[in-house]
A = this chain, B = another copy of it.
Amino acid sequence: MKLYERLLEELSVRIEQGYYPVGSKMPSIRALSKERDVSISTVQEAYQRLEERGLVEVRPKSGYYVQGRSIAPTLPDVSRPAQRPLEVSHWEQVYHLLNTEKGEGHLSLGTAMPDISSPTLKLLKKSLVDAAKRADDSFINYCDIRGSEKLRRQIARLALDSGCNLHPDEIIITSGCQEALVCSLRATTNPGDVVATDSPSFYGSTQAIKALGLKALEIPTHPETGISLEALELALDQWPIKAIQVTPTCNNPLGYTMPEERRKALLRLAQQFDVPIIEDDIYGDLFYKSPRPRTIKSFDDEGRVLLCSSFSKTLAYGLRLGWVAPGQCTERVLHKKFVSTVSNPPIQQAAVAEFIAQGGYERHMRIMRAQYQQARDLMIDLVERNFPEGTRISYPGGGYLLWVELPVEVDTIKLNKALERHNISIAPGVIFSASGKYRNCMRLSFAKKPDAAVKQAIKLMAAQIQSLLSEA
């Protein structure tokens, strides 16, 4: 191995492992030559190859910079779900995903939990302990159906970043985004009604549709621009749709973010057919670029949009703290919230309010967005390099979820089964559909930065996929 080759490999690995983060400046040629005790031309040679590999870029008069991905991978096709309202199924698969008895060293690439190891969460941990210490608060002896006023004020302040002007009294605190979604569905529909959803779609909301005795009408969805407005309009014409449920920003599982013009057009469509929109913004603050996209709610001046979110994906899952701004439906959602759980425990509310008030939330989001963006590029790279030809991959603009479409012969439930032996799990595609579509798809999380273990897991997965392919 030549000197420059050795240096090239070493630098590649360091970039891949995030030692040099995306966007950061690489050491200067002079500095590196001195540090490694090699000639200037050796370093030049190595940098040139790095540039050819697309790992760094030259900025004139400044130096070499670690390059983010600039081109999207081969994206999945527009989805083609069943074009009629259906009962939701596949609860067993959902339960399996969430409740796999995770043995020592189990690697769950299927669940969508944030990385909670960042030091920027220390302040939140402290706020939790402080809140627990104010025992009278934590034992609280009155009932606060709407939730802590202090927290609602902070949420209203954060909502300004997405163009939303909310009064704290328009916000209701919930037990996670799940309760926000289910109370919103309950407030806008009756059993037997039809709800239009993007597709693939978060299993929590499709399972809610099932539990409430509703029917899901899955609308074809584009992997870059989201729910098809053309298909939705046809559906609104044809079926008595009572609510439209979408996740337009950093969609789970597809990763797309709907362009602003399409958001406005979706709202117009909802107005035209007089249907409420349930907007799930749970990953909104994890959009990599700044400023984050405006919510559909921010364009809504008649209270048609019920905006749902939570801190499960941005801070920590175990807080079980979410919220909903239900617009016109506020009083009805309030009744649903009372009936569902009465009110939320005060400790987590106090801690998160304090954390936001002290600027901790925004600081943490800045760090996490950069980390997740870098992890995305590493993960896409890994999948592209290892998975068989014909694999299509989403190109998320935020969050930490990758949607992978495998050759049609591959059944990801079987794949998941085969991976069990290796203590690895993924989220099989079928749970994201009411109609059992997406058998050859899966969702992978890259919240945990792709390290050696993840790399090995992806390679293992690739091998299993190959063997499923050759069986077929």
Contacts and interface: CB of A to CB of B under 8 A. Distances in A.
Interface string A136-175: 1111111111100000000000000000000000000001
- A contacts with B: majority SS: helix
Interface stretch (A178-186, A270-278, A428-436): A178-186
A95 interface: yes
Interface string A333-352: 01110111111111110000
Interface in A113-147: 113-114, 116, 121, 125, 128-129, 131-133, 135-146
B318 A178 contact: no
Contact of A340 (B128, B139, B179, B346): B179
Nearest to A135: B125
Interface string A179-214: 100100010001100000000000010011011110
Contacts of A143: 98-99, 111, 317
B213 A179 contact: no
A128 B179 contact: no
A418 interface: no
Interface string A295-323: 00000000000000000000111111100
A341 B317 contact: no
A131 B351 CA distance: 14
29 contacts: A95-B145, A95-B338, A98-B338, A113-B142, A121-B135, A121-B139, A125-B132, A128-B132, A128-B347, A132-B347, A139-B315, A139-B318, A139-B319, A140-B316, A141-B318, A175-B341, A176-B341, A176-B342, A182-B339, A190-B191, A191-B213, A204-B338, A207-B335, A207-B338, A207-B339, A318-B347, A321-B345, A345-B345, A345-B348
Interface of A: 91, 94-95, 98-99, 102, 108, 111, 113-114, 116, 121, 125, 128-129, 131-133, 135-146, 175-176, 178-179, 182, 186, 190-191, 204, 207-208, 210-213, 315-321, 334-336, 338-348
Top 8 A-B pairs, shortest CB-CB distance: A140-B318, A139-B316, A175-B341, A132-B132, A125-B135, A211-B339, A98-B143, A113-B141
